[in-house]
Structure 1
Amino acid sequence: MKKILPFFKRFFYFFSLFFYVLLTAQTDSLEQKIVKASKEEKIEIYMQLANKYSKIKVDKAIDYAKQGLELVKTENSKYTGFFYLRLGYFHNDKSEHVKALFYYKKALEVSEALNYELGIGKCYQNIAVTHVKMGNYDKALDYDLKALKIYEKNNDENLITGLVGNIGSLYSCRLKDDENGLLYYNRALEMSKKTGNNEFRSHILGAVAEMYIRQKEFAKAKKVLKESLDIAEKANYPRVVISVLSNLSLISIEEKKYKEALMYSKRVLKMRLESGYTEDNTLTYLTLADIYEKLDDIKATEFHYNKALSEAKTSKALPQLSRVYEALHEYANRRKDYKKSYEYVLKYNKAKDSLFTIKKDKQLKEVQAKFGLENKEKEILLLTNENKIKALENQNQSTTQVLLIMGLMTLTIILLTLFGAYKNKQGNNKILAEKNEVISQTLKDREILLKEVHHRVKNNLQIVSSLLRLQYKFGNHKSSTEILQEIQDKIHAMSIIHERLYKSNNLSLINLQTYLDNLLSHFNTSYDLPEQNITITTAIDNINLGMDRLVPCGLIVNEIIANSIKYAFQDNTNGHISIKASKNKDTCTLTIQDTGIGFPENFEMESSQSLGMQLIQGLTKQIKGTVEIISNPGACYTITFSMAG
């Protein structure tokens, strides 16, 4: 095996070099023809050049497609639609998804103007692919299903095959529904075998392998990947070769063959950079960072993590950005850099929340229900037409015998009696079916809410974990009793939120006044405030906040009140803490003031090294707010933040 692998690498290198030289010679010849060509000939040449360079240099392919578009963009023709579609495709390869959507929608306008149904379907399919890359799965499924209806109407098996594979990937890779994903994959594989479309087959085999990798069935995955790679290399499909090599690298990592994994990933990155297919550079850089960390090359590890973050920010694709922040959070943990770990977990939660919401889950189900309803309406219409035909045939039959008529009348009466009984039974069945449907939908809704609860609890546990590490890091000078009290306060501040959600009919918003009353009750009991002659008063507007705002707010209030109780009042003097909250449109202003000794002279919050002050600043930044402090003469904090988004 060790001897075969270098031979295989050399063979593939020479094959690629030969193909590149041959392709370059062909493109040079085409470029020479442009000078003397007519307009129609130039259009055809630009189409050929865009297609040929799409396999070796995406930027050059874009340049040729734009030159071709300049010749035809004032007219609505198949050439205009072709160049718009190709430009969308090329920009997706470069992770420029907003530009890709722009060109696909221009292509859609052309197809609609030409009343070209298959062109409309292709535009829908490519728009769906772009929305998947951007994390908009509800929109992606909507466009995919609309495209599938058009392809089935036109009975185009090649297009149906590719789209069915795309829907399988959407279910399996994005929605984590392998059962539905495998159904679509198998259907697509059968169709690709029937039509002889090897490009679709190699793509779909690669997607099936990814599903096996997620299920940790590496032997199955490698077998399917080998079949996909054989097809892709023979037919020169570089995108599929890149995808297969990426997956082989992931399997090698799982099998602890890190040098082999590094070889695959380096080759993937080289092919991406040479061809301009940058759409998944982020994931390749993350994989390389993971491999280098396992090989104890910290410098290379951090270089590739930084490259991954840069690529993800440039592409603005939420799925990739959330994966980078999660990886950086875990890496910072392993390096025991808990401050950075806390920052990254906040960013990861924000990106993850944007991807996973009840609203999006509901929208996906509405799209699926809508598509199913439309199919049922077609079936009903077909049955109605059949009944009309039968009625016309009955009208054409003449009845000449009176006895037959009387017999038919008698039979009709019997049938009407039976029909009445049948309708009565059908009505009861319908009522029962409706009740079952309501019960089924209720169970599904509860399942969705349970997933959301688990998601929120997981986020809060990650925050608690990060707070514990920070408390440990900054708590060297404190007694264990003090540290435990501070930890208990923070966790209790978060647990009150879950208690309010449990008791509330509204699972998305909590009233700030109600929450603070519960929090202050905890402080009165835990710190025995009456015994210390300390009182706390509130003046809160009617403000409702979601968990994303309330968790940071609760921790901020907790930290400030705890600081005041511990440090503001000396010699058992009477102390008073006031909390005020007001709103102006979408902006909330929270003011917390005590009558204590105030801040030291020349105190600056930004330069403070205390955990409390760093937490207040970090949590305020998380809700995109500002914090100001003054001594008047006691300590006064003013936090202003937006309640929207």
Structure 2
Amino acid sequence: MKLFKIFGLWATLSLCGISLYGQDLPAEGLNSLQTYRELPDSRERLNYFLKEADRYASQSPYDWLDQVNVDLNTAAQKQDTTALRIYRYIQASLYYDLGDYNKSVSIANDLFLEVDKKDTTSLQIVLDLIDQNYGQLKFSDKQIEIRKKKRDLGLVENISFYDIYADLGLYRKALRSYITEQKKNVDNSDLFQLANYNNTIGEFMLKDNTAAAALTYFKKAQGYLSVYSNDINEVRTEREKAEADLLEARIDGNIGRSHVKLTQYREALPFLETSIAYLEDMKEEHVHRDLDENILALAKAHLELDNLEKAVEYLGVQHLTDDADLRMKRNLLLSSYYHMVGDFENEVDRLRQNVRIQDSLDRSSLELNKQQLIAVTAEGELEDSRLVNDALKKEVEIGRAELQAQDMRINLVFISLVFTLLGLVGMVYAYMKSIKNQRLIAEQKQIISDALVEKDSLLKEIHHRVKNNLQMVSSLLSLQTKNTRSRAAIEALEEGKTRVKAMALIHQKLYQNDDLSVIEMQGYIESLINSVQSVFKKGGHRITITIDAEDVELDIDRAIPFGLILNELVSNSFKYAFPDPEQEGQIYIHIRKNGEGGFFEYTDNGVGLSEDSEERANNSMGIRLIKRLVNQLQSTLNTDKTAQGVRFWFNFK
């Protein structure tokens, strides 16, 4: 999606007044760089450089850069300022293709200062290159300045921000802006343009986690491109063929990643493999992120399909981009692989690496992104406001012209008609003002809605990270259990694991809920019981657990103590209440809310508490923990011995 086609915009470029069309190219048989060397002057070399679609097929960008540096030295010796500007421009383009955006934008900025301000074509393409470099460097605030400069110089009428919104993670806003700005420019007879348009919409949707809708647009893009490529009535140039092949590889990769998002792993494999095979042959930096994302998606698909050898093969591929998000995705996939093969030490190590990566993120960089986001949003709103004001001014000017024309035609006899028209103008003005106010209110509601969505996303991310950290603690306890021989220590560690899992489950339920303020207790208790059963239930036990907590919701401050209390009670029942494996065990859990308060009851029909063991049980860590948790709920634990088993109960606020 972020592929900026530098050369496509420069078809009429002339840094020195030259034309890029109508020039004869040398005969075939030489590779691109040799052909470039044999051209007689800098103008023809620039023309060839921009037209050659496959210039890196036999020589790398570094080989081209070495040649251009030689050309720069020769031009400097001859004091040929025109050639110097041309070669510096080619040099900046090569640095962009190599991914050295700082060098590229530095050269382009110097060129901009030297270009004649009347030469709008050269100004346009140099500012485009600067804009693209700032985009790759994530300098959104500088991109805004460059685009405003284009508008102020009269190079463009309106400026757009959808790509900057996407860089800042505002994919839904980027999608709306892209459709608004680009739909009117789409030629329905240009199949390649239609394919690219639908693919871009799909990419915004995929990044906004609406994979099903995105897949529909990718399929449409695939259909348009297929018709375009197979049209035998059209003769395509090498550049057009290369662009079509690259777009097809991107669409295939996007379809594959959409299937992975939808857990359709087997369907994803052929699309991802085809895309990777094409992108691996390309040497340009701008395709590396797509290639890395496709490789990680393919590894995830094989992992989910239990093709562990294939999965670890792709996870072992060296990343081409140094991106923190991609490194964290790779570490998560590797931790899942190590968990599946039982290598818990490496699993924990990968999770620790992700924690270190997250902690190493530069807070000042995050603050800069916030400032950039504010700048983009403010500029976008100002641009929208400017467009609305321009439209209103045009309407008012048209109205004035009509009134003046009428004034010239009518006589004093029709004064009443003039007053009628003035009243109509007032009504139109009031109506336009009302429409404007409604639009402003709608925009403000949208801003508030976006802010609430962002807040919910941040809260879910916090709960997700807390859950991940607690899972890491659980993994560490598992690792310690494997290295401990003392049975008492193992039991203590296992009990600790269940307590950690009980707390982790709370945070998991929270970030999975639409409402982040409360926990639905029936589902939470069922999940908690399943977790405890997996640890303590042995073969032969026949225990029936009845949970009566329907329609009970508690906030996190009360849900965590309840989870730990239940964890201790159910664990004790499994460990001590049913020593006879043939016994028909029954456990009953009851929670009810009544206004601001509520009632909790737990019973089992096990061996119960004997007289001589009651004091010992009250002094155990589990019972003491339960009592402290009940005190935290501002209540007191009550214990009743029944004919069969034991009953614990308390009221809570």
TM-score by length of 1: 0.53
Give runs of aligned pairs for residues 345-424 of structure 1, distance below 5 A.
345-346=354-355, 349=358, 359-383=371-395, 405=412
Give runs of aligned pairs for residues 214-229 of structure 1, distance below 5 A.
214=211, 215-217=214-216, 219-220=219-220, 222-227=222-227
The letter for the 2-side match of 1:223 is G
Aligned to 1:123: 126
Query: Pick from 78, 87, 93: which aligns with 2:91?
Result: 87
**1:334 Cα deviation after fit:** 2.4
Query: Structure 1's 135 and 25: CA in aligned 2 closer, same or farther, altered over 3 A?
Result: closer
Query: Pick from 427, 440, 448: which aligns with 2:454?
Result: 448
Look up the SS of the partner of 1:279 in the other structure.
helix
Aligned to 1:45: 45
Aligned to 1:175: 171
Residues 1:279 and 2:281 aligned together:
no
Residues 1:108 and 2:120 aligned together:
no
Residues 1:469 and 2:475 aligned together:
yes
Q: Contact (CA 8 Å) 2:196, 2:221: kept in 1 or not?
A: no
Q: Contact (CA 8 Å) 1:95, 1:279: kept in 2 or not?
A: yes
Return the alpha-carbon distance in structure 2 between the equivalents of residues 89 and 251 of structure 1.
31
Query: Structure 1's 474 and 152: CA in aligned 2 closer, same or farther, altered over 3 A?
Result: same
Q: Contact (CA 8 Å) 1:82, 1:107: kept in 2 or not?
A: no
Look up the SS of the partner of 2:285 in the other structure.
coil
Q: Contact (CA 8 Å) 2:229, 2:244: kept in 1 or not?
A: yes
Look up the SS of the partner of 1:129 in the other structure.
helix
Query: Pick from 329, 334, 350: which aligns with 1:341?
Result: 350
Query: Pick from 226, 236, 244: which aligns with 2:238?
Result: 236
Q: Contact (CA 8 Å) 2:467, 2:505: kept in 1 or not?
A: no
Return the alpha-carbon distance in structure 2 between the equivalents of residues 398 and 27 of structure 1.
73
Return the alpha-carbon distance in structure 2 between the equivalents of residues 420 and 219 of structure 1.
51
Query: Structure 1's 287 and 442: CA in aligned 2 closer, same or farther, altered over 3 A?
Result: closer
The letter for the 2-side match of 1:447 is V
Return the alpha-carbon distance in structure 2 between the equivalents of residues 288 and 20 of structure 1.
40
Return the alpha-carbon distance in structure 2 between the equivalents of residues 134 and 108 of structure 1.
19
Q: Contact (CA 8 Å) 2:95, 2:104: kept in 1 or not?
A: yes
Return the alpha-carbon distance in structure 1 between the equivalents of residues 439 and 267 of structure 2.
56
Look up the SS of the partner of 2:30 in the other structure.
helix
Q: Contact (CA 8 Å) 2:463, 2:508: kept in 1 or not?
A: no
Q: Contact (CA 8 Å) 1:289, 1:300: kept in 2 or not?
A: no
CA shift digits 1:382-439 (9 cap, x unpaired): 45655676687689x599xxxx65x566666777788778878887887777666655
Look up the SS of the partner of 1:24 in the other structure.
coil
Q: Contact (CA 8 Å) 2:250, 2:290: kept in 1 or not?
A: no
The letter for the 1-side match of 2:130 is I
Residues 1:97 and 2:107 aligned together:
no
Query: Structure 1's 298 and 236: CA in aligned 2 closer, same or farther, altered over 3 A?
Result: farther
253-262 vs 328-337, greater mean Cα deviation: 253-262
CA shift digits 1:206-250 (9 cap, x unpaired): 546757984234754543453465589943233552452354366
CA shift digits 1:242-264 (9 cap, x unpaired): 45235436656856378856863
Aligned to 1:632: none
251-260 vs 165-174, greater mean Cα deviation: 165-174
TM-score by length of 2: 0.52
Return the alpha-carbon distance in structure 2 between the equivalents of residues 192 and 211 of structure 1.
24
**1:300 Cα deviation after fit:** 7.9
Query: Structure 1's 229 and 270: CA in aligned 2 closer, same or farther, altered over 3 A?
Result: farther
Higher helix share: 1
Return the alpha-carbon distance in structure 1 between the equivalents of residues 473 and 496 of structure 2.
15
Aligned to 1:546: none
Q: Contact (CA 8 Å) 1:248, 1:261: kept in 2 or not?
A: yes
Q: Contact (CA 8 Å) 2:335, 2:347: kept in 1 or not?
A: yes
**1:480 Cα deviation after fit:** 4.0
**1:148 Cα deviation after fit:** 8.0
Query: Structure 1's 165 and 201: CA in aligned 2 closer, same or farther, altered over 3 A?
Result: farther
Give runs of aligned pairs for residues 284-323 of structure 1, distance below 5 A.
284-285=291-292, 287-288=294-295, 291=298, 294=302, 305=315, 307-309=317-319, 311-313=320-322, 320-323=323-326
Return the alpha-carbon distance in structure 1 between the equivalents of residues 426 and 495 of structure 2.
79
**1:368 Cα deviation after fit:** 1.7
Look up the SS of the partner of 2:325 in the other structure.
helix
Return the alpha-carbon distance in structure 1 between the equivalents of residues 437 and 181 of structure 2.
34
The letter for the 2-side match of 1:48 is Y
Aligned to 1:256: 266
Q: Contact (CA 8 Å) 1:225, 1:244: kept in 2 or not?
A: yes
Return the alpha-carbon distance in structure 2 between the equivalents of residues 165 and 205 of structure 1.
18
Query: Structure 1's 288 and 171: CA in aligned 2 closer, same or farther, altered over 3 A?
Result: closer
Q: Contact (CA 8 Å) 1:205, 1:225: kept in 2 or not?
A: no
**1:138 Cα deviation after fit:** 6.5
Return the alpha-carbon distance in structure 2 between the equivalents of residues 260 and 419 of structure 1.
64
Look up the SS of the partner of 1:312 in the other structure.
coil
The higher radius of gyration belongs to 2
Look up the SS of the partner of 2:118 in the other structure.
coil
Aligned to 2:569: none
**1:339 Cα deviation after fit:** 1.8
Return the alpha-carbon distance in structure 2 between the equivalents of residues 64 and 251 of structure 1.
40
Give unpaired runs (5+ residues) of structure 2.
1-24, 260-264, 340-345, 483-489, 510-515, 518-556, 565-653
Return the alpha-carbon distance in structure 2 between the equivalents of residues 166 and 434 of structure 1.
21
**1:190 Cα deviation after fit:** 0.9
Query: Structure 1's 143 and 290: CA in aligned 2 closer, same or farther, altered over 3 A?
Result: same
Q: Figure out how many residues of one structure are paired with residues of the other and give that number.
A: 452
The letter for the 1-side match of 2:321 is A
Q: Contact (CA 8 Å) 1:325, 1:348: kept in 2 or not?
A: yes
Query: Structure 1's 491 and 280: CA in aligned 2 closer, same or farther, altered over 3 A?
Result: same
Aligned to 2:534: none
Query: Structure 1's 349 and 398: CA in aligned 2 closer, same or farther, altered over 3 A?
Result: same
Return the alpha-carbon distance in structure 2 between the equivalents of residues 105 and 168 of structure 1.
20
Query: Structure 1's 182 and 24: CA in aligned 2 closer, same or farther, altered over 3 A?
Result: farther
Q: Contact (CA 8 Å) 1:173, 1:211: kept in 2 or not?
A: no
Return the alpha-carbon distance in structure 2 between the equivalents of residues 472 and 321 of structure 1.
28
Query: Structure 1's 26 and 222: CA in aligned 2 closer, same or farther, altered over 3 A?
Result: closer
Q: Contact (CA 8 Å) 2:92, 2:107: kept in 1 or not?
A: yes
Identity, % of aligned pairs? Answer: 7
**1:373 Cα deviation after fit:** 2.3
Return the alpha-carbon distance in structure 2 between the equivalents of residues 469 and 98 of structure 1.
43
Query: Structure 1's 20 and 105: CA in aligned 2 closer, same or farther, altered over 3 A?
Result: same
Q: Contact (CA 8 Å) 2:474, 2:501: kept in 1 or not?
A: yes
Query: Pick from 327, 343, 366: which aligns with 1:324?
Result: 327
**1:24 Cα deviation after fit:** 2.0
Query: Structure 1's 339 and 202: CA in aligned 2 closer, same or farther, altered over 3 A?
Result: same
Q: Contact (CA 8 Å) 1:107, 1:123: kept in 2 or not?
A: yes
The letter for the 2-side match of 1:277 is E
Give unpaired runs (5+ residues) of structure 1.
1-18, 35-40, 155-159, 314-319, 496-500, 503-518, 527-645
Aligned to 1:585: none
Give runs of aligned pairs for residues 447-526 of structure 1, distance below 5 A.
447-475=453-481, 477=490, 478-484=492-498
Query: Pick from 187, 192, 195: which aligns with 1:190?
Result: 187
Q: Contact (CA 8 Å) 2:255, 2:268: kept in 1 or not?
A: no
CA shift digits 1:70-107 (9 cap, x unpaired): 56689998866654444343323222222232233234
Q: CA RMSD in A?
A: 5.7
The letter for the 2-side match of 1:278 is E
